[in-house]
Chain A
């Protein structure tokens, strides 16, 4: 089992460019989450999904969109990147609502 994987590992964007981050899990988990990690801010939830075809906003959703067309994949999109979106993005999945989450390795994004 690969667990949770994220693509790409690192990306540099110019302001205004768009991109999609891919998260995939092979554990058949229902719940998936996207976080951003910033110094001094901890992890903040961007969007989450409670099952295939569903998405919902988290704490800091502005500037991001998500889709979960397949149960194993959770995509995070930036339509028009801004320097404030420079961060490390983590995806996580969970089978239950009990707070036990499995994390991906992270994607480091730099927006110039």
Chain B
């Protein structure tokens, strides 16, 4: 069965410090992974997906198949990065219909 694990419920850093939000997955095939973010009083939105290999708002995430991880990183955190972050795995198979399996979420707080 597919599973996504975010081991940290809460993560606090100071402005300007590096930040890494951890995500591990369990999946036997070739995974497609995403990071979704929910800022305060805003709706959940896609931050980035590994297949795009892009950097959004200074965040990057590298898929490590050996460690089955997709950690989200940013070298210098900003206060506006404070939010709830979800890692998600696209369900496999022809009948997946775009379903996502989400992790438990990590609340990131960036202190001034």
Contacts and interface: CB of A to CB of B under 8 A. Distances in A.
B103 to A, nearest CB: 5
Contacts of B46: 100-101
Interface in A69-112: 90, 92, 94, 96-106
Contacts of A96: 98
Contacts of A92: 44
Interface residues of A, number: 28
A102 B97 CA distance: 15
B81 interface: no
A56 B95 CA distance: 11
A42 B105 contact: yes
A67 B90 CA distance: 24
A22 interface: no
Nearest to A38: B104
Contact of B104 (A40, A94, A97): A40
Contacts of B88: 99
A99 B100 CA distance: 6
A31 B32 CA distance: 18
Nearest to A29: B98
Interface of B: 4, 6, 9, 32, 34, 43-46, 49, 86, 88, 90, 96-100, 102-105
The 5 tightest CB contacts between A and B, nearest first, are A97-B98, A99-B90, A103-B44, A43-B102, A42-B102
